[in-house]
Amino acid sequence: MKLSRRGFLHIAGASAGAGLLARPGAAFASEAVPGADERAMLVDTTRCKGCRACEAACSEANGNPPPDRGEDVLDTNRKTSQTAFTVVNRGPNGPGGARRYAKTQCMHCVAPGCASACPVKALQKQPEGPVTYDPSKCMGCRYCMVACPFGVPKYEYEALAPRVRKCTFCFDRQKAGKAPACSSVCPTGALTFGRREDLLEEAKKRVYGQPDRYERHVYGELEAGGTNWLYLADVSFAKLGLPQNVEKQSYPDLVKGALGAPPFVMTLWPPLLMGLYTFAHRREKVAKDGEHGAHGAHGKKEERHG
């Protein structure tokens, strides 16, 4: 179809008008749930029994050594490491003295700070949701570790060609149509894998369905601007070991203002400095000319004024 000039203007005008009118409404409709279509995981900590099958499956899927064994493992507050991408820690007891546990791993932010911090794009946000890492591009600056509010990326300091290590949300398994290793072995239904928007609805359904049971918060809905791992709990999230000093906005957005400065510096500084230089130069020249003029015209001064 060939578009006439008139037709084009008509469409352009209409869409510009629509854009102006529809902006607030459209924002609500499409951006109500950031990363709505991304793959996500709902962790219902009230259903977790602390069996740590997820840890074992994770280590196997990622070629890491088998997880720590022993009775006291759950009593120590462990952190994920370069050889353990997920760990389950015991939290406080829930209602009725039931034991509560929380699995931690990369949260796979909808807008990840680590990936935006990476100057070589070794860490990348996949459109499907996972945040993945390519060691062949990494220069080892470790800015991702500074930028991650959850303290997730871990580094192989002992290696001569160190890598950043973290959960990849089993991106390879996902590409093959499988669920991540951890959720595929969870026997209690504590882990639910699915679309982010659907899981958020499911999470809220559970909270509103049993308001006396659950904390009225879905951890990960707003944290760091939204994460693909979402948590439900019937005890405080802080006591489950989920970081509380996390901003409620996306981390890449934090630095956007500062990173907007360079174009202005690059375009405004040179003409401004050239201008200052020209003024300074002219002032000098005038001063010099004035000096010479004064010397030369010394004798004629009277005449000129007269």
Min dist. Cβ of residue 34 to other proteins (A): 16
For residue 277, state whether it binds other proteins (rule: CB under 8 A): yes
Contacts with 50 (C-beta within 8 Å, 6 or more apart), sequence order: 74, 88, 90, 99, 101
For residue 241, state whether it binds other proteins (rule: CB under 8 A): no
For residue 81, state whether it binds other proteins (rule: CB under 8 A): yes
Alpha carbon of 131 to those of 25, 162, 224: distances in Å? 30, 19, 14
- Convert residues 137-166 into a mask of x (bound to other proteins by CB under 8 A) and - (unbound): xxxxxxx-xxx-x-x--xx-xxxxxx----
Min dist. Cβ of residue 38 to other proteins (A): 18
- Per the listing, tokens 């000319």 go with 289
Task: Count the helix, strand and coil residues of the chain and give each as a percent rounded to the nearest 5.
Answer: 45, 10, 45
What are the tokens at 218? 């879905």
The residue type of 189 is G
The residue type of 88 is V
Report helix, strand or coil for 80.
coil
- Convert residues 94-113 into a mask of x (bound to other proteins by CB under 8 A) and - (unbound): -------------------x
The residue within the footprint of other proteins, chosen from 259, 286, 294, 297 (CB under 8 A), is 259
The residue within the footprint of other proteins, chosen from 66, 270, 290, 293 (CB under 8 A), is 270
For residue 248, state whether it binds other proteins (rule: CB under 8 A): no
The residue within the footprint of other proteins, chosen from 120, 286, 294, 297 (CB under 8 A), is 120
For residue 78, state whether it binds other proteins (rule: CB under 8 A): no
Min dist. Cβ of residue 60 to other proteins (A): 23
Min dist. Cβ of residue 130 to other proteins (A): 18
Q: Considering beta carbons, is residue 201 or 284 the nearer one to other proteins? A: 284
The residue within the footprint of other proteins, chosen from 177, 262, 296, 306 (CB under 8 A), is 262
Q: What is the DSSP letter of 276?
A: H
For residue 91, state whether it binds other proteins (rule: CB under 8 A): no
The residue type of 43 is V
Number of residues that bind other proteins (CB under 8 A): 58
Alpha carbon of 48 to those of 45, 130, 180, 233, 237: distances in Å? 5, 23, 17, 10, 14
The residue within the footprint of other proteins, chosen from 37, 75, 201, 284 (CB under 8 A), is 284
DSSP letters along 89-125, please? EE----GGG---EEEE----BSS-HHHHH-TT--EEE
